Amino acid sequence: MFGDLFEEDFSFVSNNQCGKGKKSKSKDTEPLAPREFTKLSGIKNQGGTCYLNSLLQTLHFTPEFREALFSLGPEELGSLEDINKPDVKVRIIPLQLQRLFAQLLLLDQQAASTTDLTESFGWNSNEEMRQHDVQELNRILFSALETSLVGTSGHDLINRLYHGTVVNQIVCKECKNVSERQEDFLDLTVAVKDVSGLEEALWNMYVEEEYFENDNLYRCGACNKLVEAAKSAKLRKLPPFLTVSLLRFNFDFEKCERYKETSCYTFPIRINLRPFCEQTQLEDSEYMYELFSVIIHKGGCYGGHYHVYIKDVDALGNWQLQEEESKLMTEEKVQKDTENIKEMENPLTILKGILSEEESKQIPVDQLGQKLLEKKGMSWNKKYRKQYGPIRKYLQNHSQIFRLSPDDNKVSLKEMYHQLQFGSDCQGQVLQSPSQNNDVQWTSESLCTVLKDSASGSHWFDLNDSKVQPIKEKDIEKQFQGKESAYMLFYRKSQLKRPSEAQANPRYRVPGHLLNEMDAANIELRKRRMDCDSADNNIDLRLHLGSHYKFYNGALHPSLSWKESVLDLTIDKRKTLGDLRQSIFQLLEFWEGDMILSTAKSLPAGLHLYQTLDGDEMTLGGIGLADGADVFVWNGKEVGGMEVLPGLDHEPVLLNVLRLAGYNEGGKGQHFIESQHVVPCSAELSTLWKALASPGGIILMNSSGSDKEVENWKVVPEEDMKKTVRIVGLTDGSSILVLDSHDQSLVNVASGNLTAFMHDISWLQVKNFCRLEAEEKQVKITATIETVMSDIKIKAIQELQLGEELVDDSCLRPINRNGKLLAPVPEDYTVKEAELKMGSLLGLCHGKAPTSTQLFLYFVVGSDLQGAPEMEIVVEETASVRECLNLMLEKSGLPG
Ligand SMILES: [Zn+2]
């Protein structure tokens, strides 16, 4: 409530006075956000590394690969700490990969970094990374890893998991001799063009035979002649993990350009490879493979973006698709509820409801109104009358529903509606508990979903650099075709089962030293997040101690220096008011009696109090205390024996009070005395009048607001004297003019307009030109057109805080638009006689002003009129030209 009220003011204070820059932390020092609800870590995109990230995530979610790598200890790989020791062999690539996997498993951050790993490949720039295609990268990564594992027990890691063989055979039709050639593969590359999907591609490659016949015969080594023969290829050895690269990028030889094949290309979640194998006698399970990763390419053939769909076979992540569904349900429910409320608020429904519950069916109209109040807690007249008119009228207007007795005093529902109402009442009951119904439905449904999915283990995630999102298995089908489509497929042998201990256990098989490293890193991360968090939530409060303040002139003023009276306190805004009170008690050490905390604000008149803070269990943020807020600490009653009235209604207003001074009968020489007065904003003008004006005096306000150049003074009319300072619009800095009774002869009180009789009251601006070294200060001097120039000068010298001796050695010179000082104005002239416009600028300069019988002449010496300095002389009107010339020569120092 009052939080809103002061929000603007507090932000003003905090911007201007508490801008210590503590909130402008640099992004780098801030720790990465923790993992999101999936509990899986993404990988940061380090500039064009999305394909590397997709591949690394695939390897990471190949637990057999991950664990094989983890099984290699420091005794084989060395240790990253020894990286700079020349005599120690450190196998950096596998070590960095181990660490990355440990981070992906255990480090509580949204995304891991691959910088260390890519550096271990010797890739230091984005350029080096962009040269590679993801299929190529797969081979480069494997080969780099293999090379660095030579001589360790992990030397065959890649082969063990990914190596397969294909056998190519040519059978001679005549001697039946079989010529054989075996090929190794780490991944299979399959055609996409003109093929409907993976199975057809494999069929073309490993089932279809090619014949050598007619013109195209085969030379048989055994027969030693050209013969007819059949060529075929078969999968001989199947690896545990089968990687399939789709040839989506083709070359169009006619157009001579690369293009991306976006046609539909299906691939199964489970595939039986038996038809494509050389050896077909084994059990079915030997040939069954399951899809577990799909790297997706989005974009054209020259660039684009990669992300990957991965099946979380160890159930490490939190697969929470149902959350989305439940959200949808809740939204639906809320919508229904709002509809219900709307329906509830419709008087037709309400009255029908009341009447349908009536056993007697017919009730007096007055009683219907009474029942509305009893049952729904609302009165017709208050809630509906404005919109729908009197209740009786309303009932008459809905005669299709309500039947009024002939004398219009009793009402009943028409028969048809009575029944219908009961009908919809039943419906209404169903509607009244939609939450229960939905909940039950939802729970059983989502339970089914969870069971079904966990049974098949199909927890798929979309890993897109830093972002990880759960997806449905069915979403994979979206990647069959189009600009965004599957690019690499990863299958795992169905026989490979995961141990139950590995389920939902990211620590499984992670070596001890990496567990320790990650645990320590997590503690550090949490600590840094907490530090950042509290820095984000810290607010600086300024505590003003009541005992160091005095109340006078309508506001609070520090009795000691500001430094001694005000204490700074930094506190977490999530803490409670009770905590703040406790902190203040500790800070002050000695405090007796009640401690009242009030919000305060510095106003031009001084410090003013607003709301007493209460509700010790509320948080500081909750009660609206923001950074830079002022809090007054006192006993809640008095300050230095003076009663202090807090609140908006008692805000002190600092008024500028003008009085006419130096008035003389000739109407010449008017000038003003200004003083400042503090009045409560709730004070009536009559109080102000009593305090400031003499009996018979009057108060004038000007309605021109802050634009002082256009003054329009009006006498405050009698009827406004009961209004408060705030209501008539007087605020800090507003001016009022107080005229005593003798001044009023100038004012036509009847018209209420001062300008009618008196001359314009306005301001002239005077700029200091006397002290050239000092900053050219400028002041505003109140004047009328009858004010004499010497009075303006004296006032200006006072306001500019210049020495009094200057009065005799200075003059006022108007300054034109170009900033040029014009001839000085005679001292005895009035503003009007000097032909000065109100608001115009005068320069206060050294030198005497000419009298009204003197002339002021400018002259320039030399032939070049542009560059020569302008000089000035003052001569009597009666002086001859020769006299003037002599003066000029004297002034310029030239010989006669
Ligand atoms: Zn042969």
Output the domain CATH number for residue 128: 3.90.70.10
| Alpha carbon of 206 to ligand 1 centroid (Å) | 23
| Alpha carbon of 595 to ligand 1 centroid (Å) | 110
In a domain, 803, yes or no: no
| Alpha carbon of 225 to ligand 1 centroid (Å) | 8
| Alpha carbon of 213 to ligand 1 centroid (Å) | 14
In a domain, 327, yes or no: no
Asked if residue 673 and residue 619 are part of one domain, the reply reads no
User: What's the structural domain count of the chain?
Assistant: 5
Q: How far apart are CA 601 and CA 597, in angstroms?
A: 13
| Alpha carbon of 173 to ligand 1 centroid (Å) | 7
β-bridge partners, 484: 298
Asked if residue 676 and residue 587 are part of one domain, the reply reads no
Asked if residue 672 and residue 638 are part of one domain, the reply reads no
Do the beta carbons of residue 186 and residue 240 sit within 8 Å?
no
pLDDT of residue 716: 78
Asked if residue 149 and residue 36 are part of one domain, the reply reads yes
Decide which of 158, 178, 196 is a domain's last residue: 158
| Alpha carbon of 230 to ligand 1 centroid (Å) | 11
- Of 18, 50, 220, 770, catalytic: 50
3-state secondary structure of 429: helix
Asked if residue 562 and residue 597 are part of one domain, the reply reads yes
pLDDT of residue 746: 55
Pair type for strands 218-220 and 225-227: antiparallel
3-state secondary structure of 868: coil
Q: Considering only CA atoms, which of 488, 514, 495 is closest in space to residue 59?
A: 488
What is the residue-wise DSSP string for 196-236?
Answer: -BHHHHHHHHHT--EEEBTTB-EEETTTTEEE-EEEEEEEE
Q: How far apart are CA 111 and CA 104, in angstroms?
A: 8
3-state secondary structure of 641: coil
Asked if residue 120 and residue 56 are part of one domain, the reply reads yes
Asked if residue 152 and residue 37 are part of one domain, the reply reads yes
In a domain, 182, yes or no: no
Asked if residue 154 and residue 55 are part of one domain, the reply reads yes
Beta-carbon contacts of 165 under 8 Å, excluding residues fewer than 6 positions away, are 182, 183, 184, 185, 235, 236, 237
| Alpha carbon of 172 to ligand 1 centroid (Å) | 5
| Alpha carbon of 226 to ligand 1 centroid (Å) | 8
| Alpha carbon of 229 to ligand 1 centroid (Å) | 8
pLDDT of residue 327: 56
Decide which of 742, 758, 774 is a domain's last residue: 758
Decide which of 131, 158, 185 is a domain's last residue: 158
In a domain, 326, yes or no: no
Asked if residue 417 and residue 381 are part of one domain, the reply reads yes
Do the beta carbons of residue 831 and residue 789 sit within 8 Å?
yes
pLDDT of residue 773: 56
Q: How far apart are CA 468 and CA 557, in angstroms?
A: 59
Pair type for strands 735-739 and 810-814: unpaired
In a domain, 857, yes or no: yes
In a domain, 241, yes or no: no
Average confidence (pLDDT) per 10 residues, the chain, 896 residues = 30 31 46 87 85 93 96 92 85 94 96 89 66 76 90 94 96 94 94 92 94 92 93 96 91 80 93 95 93 92 86 90 54 53 66 76 80 76 76 78 78 59 36 36 36 57 94 93 93 94 94 96 91 83 90 87 84 90 85 87 91 89 88 90 88 84 50 80 85 78 53 72 86 81 55 45 75 68 78 84 82 83 83 78 82 69 58 72 76 66
In a domain, 612, yes or no: yes
Asked if residue 751 and residue 638 are part of one domain, the reply reads no
DSSP H or E run through 892: helix 881-892
Q: Is residue 532 flagged as an active site residue?
A: no
In a domain, 280, yes or no: no
| Residue-range definition of the domain harbouring residue 871 | 853-896
pLDDT of residue 240: 97
Do the beta carbons of residue 809 and residue 846 sit within 8 Å?
yes
Buried b (16+ CB within 10 A) or exposed e, 758-786: bbbbbbbbbbbbbeeeeeeebbbbbbbbb
| Alpha carbon of 169 to ligand 1 centroid (Å) | 13
pLDDT of residue 419: 40
pLDDT of residue 429: 36
- Of 132, 155, 163, 305, catalytic: 305
Length of the chain: 896
Asked if residue 637 and residue 689 are part of one domain, the reply reads no
Residue 774 φ then ψ, to 5°:
-80, 165
Q: Is residue 305 flagged as an active site residue?
A: yes
Q: CA 329, 334, 340 angle in degrees (round to 5)? A: 125
Q: How far apart are CA 587 and CA 258, in angstroms?
A: 75
Asked if residue 153 and residue 44 are part of one domain, the reply reads yes
pTM of the model: 0.55
Q: How far apart are CA 473 and CA 460, in angstroms?
A: 6
Whichever domain contains 360, its CATH number is 1.10.10
